[in-house]
Amino acid sequence: MRTLLLTFFVTNFFIVFSQKNTLPANPYQQEFAFAYTQYPDVPKGILEAVSYTMTRFQHLQNEEESCTGLPKTYGVMGLTLDGKNYFRNNLNYIAQVSGIAVNDILQSPQQNILAFATAYHHELMLLSPFQFQSQNYARILTQLSELPDNGLQQDFALNSHLYAVLSFLNDVKMQQAYGFPNYQLDLEKVFGEENLKVLQASKVIISDSLIEGDNGQVYKITTPNSKSVDYPPAVQDLTTCNYSSRSGTLVSAVTIHTVQGSYAGCISWFKNCSASVSAHYVLRSSDGQVTQMVLESNKAWHVGSENPYTIGFEHEGWVNNAAWYTVAMYQSSANIVKDITISGYGISPLRTAYFPWTATTNYNSSSIPGSCVKVKGHQHYPNQTHTDPGANWDWKYFDNLINNTTPITTITANSGTITDNGGSSGNYTGERQLYLIQPVSASNITLTKVQFDVESTWDYLYIYDGNSVAAPLIGYYTGTTIPASITSSGGSVLLELRSDCSTDALGFEFNYIAASPDIIPPTTSVAAPTGWVTGNFTANFTDADNAGGSGLEKSYYQVIDFDGTEWRANANNGFFSDNFDAAIHSDWTSVVGSWSINTNSLFQSDEVEGNTNIAAALNQSLSNRYLYHFEAKIDGSGTNRRAGF
């Protein structure tokens, strides 16, 4: 049995709980629901799975063209209108099957979703009487996809797409977030045991005759092939075209791209010998899987005139939707960069773009960053027309992942002076320094500027409100401008001095002092008449903090009186109290549930009702802050036991 024991007392306070949802919102819930209403045989969740995989629930219309030439996709469902004689024009096919005009599919999110649902229903009917077998998910999705399936590599690209869609359906978090049933699809039955292992691998190697996962699983039984010699965690799927020799040019930089399309689509497109485009690595958004398409020793075709000296990464997604840039993909991309920096090319990881302006700066319009920066975006090279990875790529986060082994100088004294490695009078050296001020039992730390001078625009001091670069950022500063004093919210503050490869300056010097927490509680003294009083009386109370303490911001008090039957408080003066001495008071309104008084507690005994409720009105017009205090106990045999106020 589930029961609730509650003791209750009110003054003034306010609490807010929040939860950060990392999954993208679905603004088209009503449109999806309408489509399922029209076609009840379409499995609930399948439309969301395709939309999430292709567009992250975005209605794509006039998106920037991919720097790889990858065909554009349209609408919430990510349909292809012009496959450039390589991809299938599935938008036209779906329009034909659904009877919905191409222009309506392009313009209207509802018509885009409904057209796909209609086409799915059409394909389902063609499978009668076996239309409800689970294997049909993959068959129908294949029929409605833009991806070709001829040849080993194309088959892998297509099945990468199918794996992403079906994994979405199997994901409990997705089921809860987007409200569809608990599917338990047997993906091994759909893809086969070995193929599933490759599809789930963190790295895949693709060559002309073999596709292999990072633990040696072979996608198809063919002539054995080795893993990627460049980056073993990757899947190697080397294209037979769209690359050439570096002709002796040494590798000296890394280029970050965004596909403007899907992972599977990009892999397939790079196999299209008419595309005349490629990159060395392609990364999947959902889990960071890496597929190598061109050996690092060869020249991939991804950044025009700058191809000879660069290694290119294509990241699944679209530049205007940050949801594609997942933690898994950032980390996977950073891992490849770190591998490249220890592969003998002479590229320092500290030459990664980190500047606050990086994401919104294009070289063609500003001529920055220059050749000093070695890991940067397509938009940061000369002679380019594309602006990926764009404004949503978090360069400082990426830099922190790549340069995650920088030693930290820790300072534990309660006060003192802190400078960069050049001291008070010399210039700083090096490209990254980390200083952690963390005195024992400090409640906050205040930095007071003595001097601040770093190379404007290129060198920055980042100050974090905590003990790591993952802590909230207080601010970043360049040139000679910084607040006179900065105070942390807690007992740690981290300083990161990040500089480029050229000009140094005097750097920073701060005096700092740590405040110790006030651990001595305030005191309260009460002076009131003794004995029973039946008339009006005055009681005095005094709240005080100790000398040198943090002081009192607000005092709360509660006055109750005994009326001969029970203890109550004066609601007209903003008080409310109930010790549950006798029967439930008339102040309470029982809304749902079986409520009674049991041993000076409010007792709810209905274990069947899922959302019981009892309420009392409060006078909350006499102050700007109220403190609420209640105690609750939950018993019973049910698994769904909870209470709230």
Taking only the tens place, the pLDDT of each residue in 376-420 is 999 999 999 999 999 999 999 999 999 999 999 999 999 999 999
| pLDDT exceeds 50 at position 10 | no
The reported pLDDT for the residue numbered 253 is 98
The residue out of 158, 193, 228 marking a domain boundary is 193
Q: Which residues contact 119 (CB under 8 A, 6 or more apart)?
A: 93, 94, 97, 98, 144
Give exposure, 91-105, as e/b (b: 16+ Cβ within 10 Å): bbbbbebbebebeeb
Residues 186 and 207 in one domain: no
Q: Which CATH number is 463's domain given?
A: 2.60.120.290
| pLDDT exceeds 70 at position 341 | yes
Rounded to whole angstroms, the Cα distance separating 399 from 385 reads 25
| pLDDT exceeds 60 at position 2 | no
Domain count, the chain: 4
Identify the residue whose tokens are 């203890």.
Answer: 567
Rounded to whole angstroms, the Cα distance separating 184 from 186 reads 6
| pLDDT exceeds 90 at position 628 | no
Q: Residue 620: how many CB atoms within 10 A of its CB?
A: 13
Provide Rg for the chain, Cα atoms. 32
Task: Report the percentage of the chain scoring pLDDT > 70.
Answer: 93
644 vs 215: which has the higher pLDDT: 215
Comparing CA positions, the residue from 20, 38, 36 lying closest to residue 28 is 36
| pLDDT exceeds 80 at position 548 | no
Q: Examine residue 87 and state whether it is found in any structural domain, yes or no.
A: yes
Q: Which CATH number is 238's domain given?
A: 3.40.80.10
The residue out of 402, 431, 448 marking a domain boundary is 402
Q: Examine residue 478 and state whether it is found in any structural domain, yes or no.
A: yes
Least confident of 328-337, 490-499, 593-602: 593-602
Q: Report which residue type is found at 241.
A: C
| DSSP letter, residue 357 | T
Where in the sequence is the domain holding 588, given as residue range(s)? 529-635
Helices assigned H by DSSP within 171-225: 172-178, 187-191, 193-199
Residues 359 and 293 in one domain: yes
Residues 177 and 242 in one domain: no
Residues 384 and 271 in one domain: yes
Q: Examine residue 66 and state whether it is found in any structural domain, yes or no.
A: yes
Identify whether the C-beta of residue 262 lies closer than 8 Å to the C-beta of residue 71: no
Rounded to whole angstroms, the Cα distance separating 95 from 105 reads 8
| pLDDT exceeds 60 at position 221 | no
User: Largest Cα–Cα distance in the chain?
Assistant: 103
Q: Examine residue 383 and state whether it is found in any structural domain, yes or no.
A: yes
Task: Indicate the Cα dihedral angle 65, 71, 74, 80, nearest 10°.
Answer: 170
Rounded to whole angstroms, the Cα distance separating 472 from 451 reads 24
The residue out of 402, 427, 457 marking a domain boundary is 402
Residues 160 and 246 in one domain: no
Identify the residue whose tokens are 């890496």.
Answer: 290
Give 131-145 pLDDT, tens digit per residue.
455 667 888 999 999
Mean pLDDT computed over 274-288: 97
Say what angle helices 136-144 and 109-126 make with each other, to 10 degrees. Answer: 130
Residues 48 and 175 in one domain: yes
Q: What SS3 class is residue 504? A: coil
Q: Examine residue 12 and state whether it is found in any structural domain, yes or no.
A: no
Say what angle helices 29-38 and 46-55 make with each other, to 10 degrees. Answer: 140
Mean pLDDT computed over 22-28: 93
Give exposure, 344-371, as e/b (b: 16+ Cβ within 10 Å): ebebebbbbbbbeebbebbbeeeebbee
Residues 106 and 186 in one domain: yes
Say what angle helices 263-270 and 152-170 make with each other, to 10 degrees. Answer: 180
Residues 506 and 587 in one domain: no
Full-model pTM:
0.66
Q: Which of 17-21, 27-31, 581-585: highest mean pLDDT?
A: 27-31
Identify whether the C-beta of residue 458 lies closer than 8 Å to the C-beta of residue 505: no
Mean pLDDT computed over 350-367: 97
Length of the chain equals: 645
Give 150-200 pLDDT, tens digit per residue.
788 888 999 999 999 999 999 999 999 999 999 999 998 888 889 999 999
156 vs 571: which has the higher pLDDT: 156
Residues 255 and 387 in one domain: yes
Going by pLDDT thresholds of 50, 70 and 90, the confidence category of residue 324 is very high
Rounded to whole angstroms, the Cα distance separating 140 from 119 reads 9
Q: Which residues contact 191 (CB under 8 A, 6 or more apart)?
A: 159, 162, 163, 199
Q: Examine residue 433 and state whether it is found in any structural domain, yes or no.
A: yes
Residues 392 and 442 in one domain: no
| pLDDT exceeds 80 at position 441 | yes
Least confident of 83-87, 416-420, 511-515, 600-604: 600-604
Q: Examine residue 181 and state whether it is found in any structural domain, yes or no.
A: yes
The reported pLDDT for the residue numbered 630 is 81
Residues 368 and 311 in one domain: yes
Q: Which of 125-129, 467-471, 567-571: highest mean pLDDT?
A: 467-471
Q: What SS3 class is residue 162? A: helix
| pLDDT exceeds 80 at position 285 | yes
Residues 560 and 618 in one domain: yes
H-helix or E-strand spanning residue 399 = helix 395-402
Q: Examine residue 520 and state whether it is found in any structural domain, yes or no.
A: no
